[in-house]
Amino acid sequence: MSTAGSKLKCIKCSLQTVNARELPCQHVICLDCVQVLVRENARKYGIKCPTCKAPFTVTVVPQDRRQQEQNKYVKDAYNVEIKEAGNPLCLKSKVMGMAIMDNSIFVVCKKPSSVIFKFDLDASDGAEPVELSISQMAWPRGMAASEKHSCLYITDWNQMFGGKLWRYRYKRGEETRVTGPVAVLDVQPFGVSVSPKNDEVLVTCATPADLLHKRGWIYVYKPCGDEFPKIRSIDLPDVEIPRHAILTASSQFVVCHGWSPVARHGVTSFEDGEDGVLIAKRFYGRDSGGGGAGENELNRPLSMTTDRGGTLLLVVDYNNGRIQLLTEDFQLVRHLLTKGEHGIESPRHVCQDPSTGRLYVGQEDGKVRVFN
């Protein structure tokens, strides 16, 4: 569709569209009218297009060539039924981090805290994991992988006001070894991610949740051989308990945050200002009063990742039991996985196999669910 959204009439209210959304059938509707349809049908899924009765999914009205390509990608890749693929991977306690590398998925749990579980992605159902060890690791909080350096990064909260970042080198058929801790942290660590653009490592940190004055930071590291210098410390003074940060393909920092019953729960994007200080650009979620369960709200978002195309965000909506799929400018595409439809229970982490597109969801109960 090449016509600009501002010149189109809404199929619901018949007026010029406001915050236009395109349905899979290519009819266009106002965002507010989408919410009206949700209320009229008393459900969020299985809604029919008011004009042609085709199945309902929201996507973004294209404004230029790049957006047209993204819109087509959203339709082709995610406008499908998602089904569970075989039995879950079962572990003994809550999943604290996951990463995919070298045709394997690596998982760390709260207990045993010193073990990395490795499952081959092409193994048959019920195959036992290989156990790798970091004997000094106390409480893993997040995990990320670097294909370029063939290693895993794991954040470890080992004391009230500090922690460590471990590096575990792994390459199939070669000797594995722990080369960390590569960083000792002076605040509580949470998630870790690796930038696909420059392989920089982002560690998300915060003050403990029970402190009155809550702050957060992103520590940025640049691996260079055996050296692991911290090249930047980014202050997040207005974000309560940031849990995970990523750097997108368009060089935006995206942070998921919110824990207390009075704070903002959501994701915020930041860009660099002229003086090097991050400037908040967009917010998605509930702006005040804690987490929410509405269509465009989040309740304790714990982690996120980009999809294999690098243009969409998969956000773990922990308390609502769902995985939300957003465009980079925070437009809701759909609730990709939900408690009601897919049986998701207290999800903590999500990752996607770049070769097959399969989704892996790590849960509070120690299960890693697999979806096509």
The token pair that represents 208 in the structure block? 């403990």
- Between vectors from CA 31 to CA 260 and to CA 254, what angle results, nearest 5°? 45
**267/191 Cα distance (integer angstroms):** 14
pLDDT of residue 61: 39
Whether the CB-CB separation of 202 and 227 falls below 8 Å is answered with: no
pLDDT tens per residue, range 50-105: 998 876 554 443 444 445 555 555 656 677 788 999 899 999 899 999 999 999 99
Whether the CB-CB separation of 321 and 301 falls below 8 Å is answered with: no
- Between vectors from CA 165 to CA 280 and to CA 204, what angle results, nearest 5°? 15
Alpha carbon of 98 to those of 227, 360, 361, 367: distances in Å? 25, 9, 9, 12
pLDDT of residue 5: 44
pLDDT of residue 14: 92
Q: What is the dihedral of CA 314, 320, 321, 324, to 10 degrees?
A: -20
Q: How far is CA 298 from the centre of its chain?
A: 12
Per-position pLDDT tens, the chain of length 372: 223 344 688 999 999 888 777 776 778 888 788 878 877 876 555 578 899 887 655 444 344 444 555 555 565 667 778 899 989 999 989 999 999 999 999 999 999 999 999 999 988 777 899 999 999 999 999 999 999 999 999 999 988 779 999 999 988 777 777 877 999 999 999 999 999 888 999 999 987 655 556 689 999 999 998 899 999 999 987 788 899 999 988 788 999 999 888 889 999 999 887 777 888 888 999 988 889 999 999 999 999 999 887 878 999 999 999 999 998 888 888 899 999 999 999 999 999 999 998 999 999 999 999 998
Those residues with Cβ within 8 angstroms of residue 29's Cβ, 6 or more apart along the chain or in another chain: 10, 11, 12, 17, 20, 21, 23, 37, 50
pLDDT of residue 62: 41
pLDDT of residue 212: 59
Per DSSP (E only), the strands in 91-229 are 95-101, 104-109, 115-120, 130-133, 140-146, 151-159, 162-169, 177-178, 183-185, 188-194, 201-206, 216-221
pLDDT of residue 336: 93
Alpha carbon of 254 to those of 8, 107, 124, 251: distances in Å? 31, 23, 36, 9
pTM of the model: 0.80
**184/163 Cα distance (integer angstroms):** 6
Please, is 52 exposed, middle or buried when counting C-beta atoms within 10 Å of its C-beta (0-12, 13-18, 19+)?
exposed
- Between vectors from CA 107 to CA 325 and to CA 371, what angle results, nearest 5°? 40
The residue assigned the tokens 């002229």 is 274
pLDDT of residue 208: 65
